[in-house]
Amino acid sequence: MIAVTIACEGCSDSKTTAEINVHSVKKQFPLRSQNAVKAPVFLLSTTDGMSVTMSDLAGKVVLLTFWGTWCAPCRMEIPDLNRLYEKYHGDGLEVVGVTISSGSKENIAKFVERWEIDYLVLTDINGEETFLLTSEYGKVTGRPISGVPSTFIIDRDGYIVKSYVGPRSEEVFYNDLKPYL
């Protein structure tokens, strides 16, 4: 809180104090491209059975990646995604890995533990939700998901503002995320 004191000479013997709450000043985010589209809604599951929806992530910057435990480039990206999550989660970043054709929740949980994945990993509830979600992302962006990892930056208002096919480094992701954090 910053206090500003204004003295009016000759107005009165007392000083007038105006307080400005610095935290109420809203951060300016970059203008969204006219091509930006709302991210599809979803209902998926964590490996321990907790349901997660897109609305649970409202107000956060989401780095959402479609990946597979069987995918070597996806595995290469895990340390970079972990570092991003660790560094910027406190600034409102949520990293979300949506598994594609990766087996049972138990097998995915073992993979997550073995690879020390710190961010949120989601999978199917009934066996087809992640496939349907990749299809929805392809429809809304006008580009079918043809490879993994396929990653999307979703702004705090739920709009897809950037997408990638193939692995990227922490630096590349951060440079594109920074304006939204």
Per-residue pLDDT of the chain (181 residues), as tens digits, is 333 333 334 444 444 434 444 444 456 667 777 789 999 999 999 999 999 999 999 999 999 999 999 999 999 999 999 999 999 999 999 999 999 999 999 999 999 999 999 999 999 999 999 999 999 999 999 999 999 999 999 999 999 999 999 999 999 999 999 999 9
pLDDT of residue 32: 79
Nearest to 46 by CA among 115, 111, 103, 125: 125
pTM of the model: 0.83
Residues 161, 153 contacting (CB under 8 angstroms): yes
Cβ atoms within 10 Å, residue 40: 18
> All domains of the chain, ordered by start, with CATH?
37-180 (3.40.30.10)
pLDDT of residue 34: 78
Which token pair is 68?
Answer: 């597979």
C-alpha to C-alpha distance for 93 and 164, rounded to whole angstroms: 17
